[in-house]
Structure 1
Amino acid sequence: MDRVEAAAEYLFELRDHRRRVAALPPEIAPRTLAEGYAVQDVLVQKLMDRFGSRPIGYKIACTSPLAQQALAVDAPFFGVMLTHSSHPSPAIRPGAEFTVRCAEAEFGFEMAADVPGGVAYTAESVKPFVGAVLPSLEIVDHRYHDWKTVDAASLLADNAIHGAWVFGEPVRDGWRDLDLAAHATALIVNGTTVLPGSGAAVLGNPLNVVAWLANELPKFGRKLSKGDRITTGLTTAVYLAEPGDRLEADFGALGRVALTLSGD
Structure 2
Amino acid sequence: MTKMLATSEQQAIAKAFLAARSAKTPLTDYPGAMPQALDEAYAIQDSAIALDGRSIGGWKVGRIADDLVARYGGNRIAGPIFTDEIIDAADGDVPAMPVYGAGFAAAEAEVLLRFGDVDTRDYDIVSIRDAIAEVRTGIEIASSPFPGINQHGPAVTASDYGNNKGLVLGPPIAGWRDADLIAMPVEFRIDGERIGAATMEAMLDGPFGSALFLTRVLRARGIAIAPGTWVSAGAITGVHEIRPGQSAEALFDGKIRVSCTITG
TM-score, normalising length: structure 1: 0.84
Name the aligned partner's letter for residue 52 of structure 2.
Answer: L
Does residue 23 in structure 1 map to residue 30 in structure 2? yes
Distance 1:70 1:114, change over 3 A: closer
| 2:169 paired residue among 167, 172, 178 | 167
Using a 3 Å threshold, how does the CA distance of structure 1 residues 154 and 78 change in structure 2: closer, same or farther? same
- SS state of the match for residue 177, structure 1? coil
Q: Is the 8 A contact 2:37 2:72 kept in 1?
A: no
Q: Flag the structure with higher helix content.
A: 1
In structure 2, the gaps of 5 or more residues are 1-6
| Counterpart for residue 85 of structure 2 | 85
Cα distance between partner residues in 1 of 2:70 and 2:108: 18
8 Å Cα contact 1:116/1:223 also seen in 2: no
1:76 aligned to 2:83?
no
TM-align CA RMSD: 2.6
In the alignment, the residues of structure 2 paired with residue 116 and residue 124 of structure 1 have an alpha-carbon distance, to the nearest angstrom, of: 16
Instruction: Assess if the C-alpha contact under 8 Å between 2:102 and 2:147 holds in 1.
Output: no
- Give CA-to-partner distance per residue, 1:85-141, whole Å, 9 cap, x none: 211222113455673221110110001222324x1x332110121111111101111
Aligned position for 1:3: 9
1:14 aligns with 2:16: no
Structure 1 residue 101 corresponds to structure 2 residue 105: yes
1:141 corresponds to: 143
- Check whether the contact 2:27–2:146 (CA below 8 A) recurs between aligned residues: yes
Describe the superposition over 1:20-41 as per-residue Cα deviations: whole angstroms up to 9, x where unpaired.
3343322xx4454223212212
The answer to whether the 8 Å contact 1:23/1:150 transfers is: no
Corresponding residue number in structure 2 for 1:237: 238
Q: Do the aligned residues in 2 keep the contact of 1:115 with 1:225 (CA within 8 Å)?
A: no
Distance 2:80 2:99 in 1: 22
**Amino acid aligned to 1:108:** L
Structure 2 partner of 1:131: 133
Q: Aligned pair 1:201/2:202, yes or no?
A: yes
Q: Which runs of 4+ in 1 moved over 6 A?
A: none
Secondary structure at the counterpart of residue 181 of structure 2: coil
Contact 1:202 1:232 in 2 (8 A): no
Counterpart among 115, 125, 139 of residue 119 in structure 2: 115
Alignment coverage as a number of residue pairs: 253
- 1:178–1:19 CA distance, 2 compared to 1 (3 A): same
Cα distance in 2 for residues equivalent to 1:222 and 1:33? 16
**In structure 2, distance between residues paired with 1:227 and 1:191:** 32
SS of the residue 2:39 aligns to: helix
Aligned partners of 2:103 and 2:147 also within 8 Å = no
* Equivalent residue for 2:39, pick from 34, 49, 55: 34
Q: Measure the CA separation in 2 of the matches of 1:229 and 1:18.
A: 28
SS at match of 1:176: coil
| Corresponding position of 2:190 | 189
TM-score normalised by length of structure 2: 0.84
CA 101–122 in structure 1, closer or farther in 2 if over 3 Å, else same: same
3-state DSSP of counterpart to 1:250 = strand
Cα drift, residue 156 of structure 1: 1.3
Stretch deviating more after TM superposition (162-171 or 104-113): 162-171
Once the two structures are TM-superposed, the CA of residue 197 in structure 1 deviates from its matched residue by 1.6
Structure 1, unaligned runs of 5 or more: none
Give the share of equivalent positions with the same residue, in percent: 22
> In 2, distance between residues paired with 1:217 and 1:158?
16
Deviations 1:57-92 (A, max 9, x none): 2111225647x5698663211111102221122211
SS in 2 for 1:10: helix
Q: 1:252 to 1:202 in 2, by over 3 A?
A: same
